[in-house]
Amino acid sequence: MSVPRDERLSAGRVISHLGVMVAVAAILGVVVAGLAIPFAGVLGVGARNVAKAMDNLPAELETDPLPQRTRLLDSSGNTIATFYDENRVNVSIDQVSRKMIEAIISIEDARFYEHGALDLKGTVRALITNQANSGVVQGGSSITQQMVKMTLQTQAHNKAERLAATADTYARKLKELRYAIAFEQHHSKDWILERYLNIAYFGDGTYGVQSAARHYFGVNAKKLNLRQAAMLAGLVKNPSGYDPTNSPDRALARRNVVLDRMAQLNVITREKADKAKETKLGLHVVPAKNGCINSQAPFFCDYAWNYLLTDKSLGKTVAQRKRTIKSGGLTIRTTVDLRTQAAADESVAAHVYPTDQALGALAMVEPGTGDVKAIAQSRPMGGKKKVGQTFLNYVVPQKYGDSAGFQAGSTFKLFVLSAAIEQGMSLSTTINSPQQVDIPMSNFPDCEGNFQSTDVWSPNNSTGAGTFNFYTGTQMSVNTFFAQLEERTGLCEPYRLAKSMGIELTDPDRERVPSFTLGVPSVSPLEMAEAYATVAARGLHCDSRPVTSIVDSDGKTVKDFPSQCKQVMAKGTADAVNDILRGVQETGFGAQAGISLTQPSAGKTGTINDNMAVWFCGYTPNLAAASMIAGANSLGHWITLNGQMLAGQYTVSAHGSTTAGPMWGDAMKKISAWLPDEDFVAPDTDTVSGVQIAVPSTNGMSTSAAEDALRSAGFYPSVSGSVASGSPAGTVAYTSPGGGSYAAKGSSVTIYPSTGHPPRGNGGRGNGGRGNGGRGGGR
């Protein structure tokens, strides 16, 4: 009887796939479960259908790079944190000890190098062995099949794919089989084994043999000995069940099964196996540290993490950037210096306790590079289990942290001082500064015309009244001096300078106001450190940066982060500012508070209304630091520091010099010991004397016309009492300095109106030459 051609082809195909079908039976759970299901039951699926299904399956499986952990390094190359979804470090097969390779092959696939995708002989042997031992002792799937299954699970990107990769179905197992065949056809056995060793899960959050070796034994995979290798090899089948950190007895028993199997296969001698079985597990567990919480610089780490999440070169979306960092196997070199960080941490911890009703913060930036050397705060990183812990980063700008900032008080006087010097005012310019001044807000020049307001601003002093110049007015931090100085500089230039020096100002309507000089805008300690680093670097502003480079797992540079610097003020201006602010440290509040350093330093204090926050921003030529302490209760509300306990000491009244200053000083005194000795550059004489311009002659003008003329020329006029003069009453008799003489731009010129009556004894000749010339120049 002849068989139709189609049936002959089908029969031939069935015969050609007979071996495959036997394996399919195993894959479907026949041997893995150790149960004897009649082969006819599998054939019941339909031999023709099996053959057809095999032919229709995709021939190859694209293998994505395995997720690897990313390391965050300090400036010296020490690991300070790791980020990962899967704690894995890929290694090549020649970086794995021979004992580890022998152990994994012995227990999982003894004939790995002899068979193809399927090992029919091994499958049958596993079935018999497992039935005899009433459990799964030997695996039924080949290493290639296991690798395929793990690859599909690792590369599942959504819930549907994850379910498909783990479903206990005929379709899944058949697909895995087809992929295994393809892998065997297109890759070497060593390639397959290498991927298997790198992709496998070894329990307790470790993926891949290198991470497992480091985690359980503190050694590299290349150094694994026999007992260590046997334990790791035993974990792959049931990583949770045999986890030695949770079930050491089960892990030991499983390790011994591996050793017996190696002896049975003559991979090792029976004597060696028995000797190894007598030993303990020998664990030296190195805890895995994922994220910033266990870092030596946790809040710096948090800053670097958020900084990288804004970098679009790491992915189009934040989610993609997180995935790149957590799975890319990157090496990220940062700017933090652990010695500097430790000194900052110690000082902050000593001055503000975690449970105090206050927050202490310290940020340190290197002038000329923008490298952030330390980020410290008094409330350590952690959850609510321990009082005083927080995951919120208060030290950095809001786009990288968790705080909208703090008012910075008189530390903002830096920007008005710098603007005045930049505009050519002399450092010897004097301003009469009473206890309180009342200045119409409309007197303040703004970027376009004068400030629009009908209100009067009435700042007052906490440091006394008098006549001050740039040095004394700054060192004594005289509010009424700076209010009047800002009236001369206008609001636009100090505001522009602050932005160019790193202060993230975004709301001119609220920020560019007369009280700007007293620090009403909110700002972070890191921004203030960056701004003061600008004058330390002689006017060269560099954006703060926590990261310098990223390298991939192959050692190739992904991205460099060079310093982003720009000259934002004249070097002479910065030199003058440094000369003025070093007086704070040498003779002013800093010296009085005992926070002077053995090397040249400069600084400025700051205190806001109701003493809710106090600041000290200080620097050497090679390191700038901003120290801040703010009142904050357990509910997260900002409160006054007055009457608070800080580090066990009662604070009657908080001040920048005596409260925030010592926290700065204790850190910087320690750090300055390893900073290079360097001095500030003395200001040049032209900057000290200011831009000298001619005083216009105003003799005979009305006082209002004279004021306009002097303002237009760059002077700041004031009207004094009337003097005897032959000029018409109410007109200008003379000025001081006098018309035709030279004075520094922005300096004061006093107008003396005429009474209309010449002084007695001069024959009624008036005062023509005397008023504007000889007399005015001497006052």
Note the pLDDT of residue 62: 77
Beta pairing class for 565-567 and 70-73: unpaired
Rounded CA separation 91/101 (Å): 13
Output phi, psi for 205, to 5 deg. 80, 15
Question: For every residue of 685-741, which 3-state class applies, written as one string?
Answer: HHHHHCCEEECCCCCCCEHHHHHHHHHHHCCEEEECCCECCCCCCCEEEEEECCCCC
Whether residue 287 is preceded by a cis peptide bond, meaning omega within 30 degrees of 0, is no
Residue 61 has pLDDT above 50, yes or no: yes
Note the pLDDT of residue 127: 56
Domains and CATH numbers, the chain: 5-56 (no CATH), 87-277 (1.10.3810.10), 691-777 (3.30.10.20)
CA distances 674 to 147, 343, 368, 739, Å, are 53, 12, 18, 55
Give the pLDDT band (50/70/90) at residue 772: very low
Residue-wise pLDDT for 243-258, tens only, equals 999 999 999 999 999 9
Give the pLDDT band (50/70/90) at residue 584: confident
Give the pLDDT band (50/70/90) at residue 11: very low
Give the pLDDT band (50/70/90) at residue 58: low
Residue 33 has pLDDT above 80, yes or no: no
Lowest mean pLDDT among 23-32, 64-73, 155-164, 692-701: 23-32
Which string of DSSP letters, residue by residue, matches 114-166? TSSS--HHHHHHHHHHHHHTTS--S-SS-HHHHHHHHHHHHT--SHHHHHHHH
Average pLDDT of the segment spanning 622-643: 91
Residue-wise pLDDT for 394-433, tens only, equals 999 999 999 889 999 999 999 999 999 999 999 999 999 9
Note the pLDDT of residue 60: 66
Give the pLDDT band (50/70/90) at residue 641: very high
Note the pLDDT of residue 122: 61
Residue 38 has pLDDT above 50, yes or no: no
Residue 725 has pLDDT above 60, yes or no: yes
Mean pLDDT of the chain: 87
Query: For a pLDDT cut of 90, what percent of the chain falls above it?
Result: 69
Between 383 and 508, residue with greater pLDDT: 508
Note the pLDDT of residue 563: 97
Residue 228 has pLDDT above 60, yes or no: yes
Residue-wise pLDDT for 475-485, tens only, equals 999 999 999 99
- Sign of the Cα torsion 670, 675, 679, 680 reads negative
Average pLDDT of the segment spanning 283-305: 94
E strand or H helix that includes residue 44: none
Give the pLDDT band (50/70/90) at residue 463: confident
Lowest mean pLDDT among 37-51, 398-412, 616-630, 676-690: 37-51
Residues forming beta bridges with residue 559, ordered by sequence position: 550
Residue-wise pLDDT for 127-147, tens only, equals 566 556 655 445 458 999 999
Residue-wise pLDDT for 176-216, tens only, equals 888 888 889 889 999 999 999 999 999 999 999 999 999 99
Average pLDDT of the segment spanning 634-655: 90
What pTM value is reported for the model? 0.84
The DSSP code for 676 is: P
CA distances 543 to 494, 526, 530, 729, 733, Å, are 19, 11, 7, 58, 53
Rounded CA separation 654/644 (Å): 9
Residue 581 has pLDDT above 50, yes or no: yes
Average pLDDT of the segment spanning 625-636: 90
SS3 172: helix
Between 152 and 413, residue with greater pLDDT: 413
Residue-wise pLDDT for 657-700, tens only, equals 999 999 999 999 999 999 999 999 999 999 998 888 899 999 99
Residue 340 has pLDDT above 80, yes or no: yes
Query: For a pLDDT cut of 70, what percent of the chain falls above it?
Result: 87
At residue 23, what is the residue type? A
Residue 626 has pLDDT above 60, yes or no: yes
Q: How far apart are the first and last CA of the chain?
A: 134
Give the pLDDT band (50/70/90) at residue 759: confident
Residue-wise pLDDT for 99-109, tens only, equals 999 999 999 99
> Is-contact 254 281, C-beta < 8 A?
no
Lowest mean pLDDT among 271-285, 339-353, 559-573, 587-601: 587-601
Residue 9 has pLDDT above 50, yes or no: no
Rounded CA separation 494/206 (Å): 54
Residue 349 has pLDDT above 80, yes or no: yes
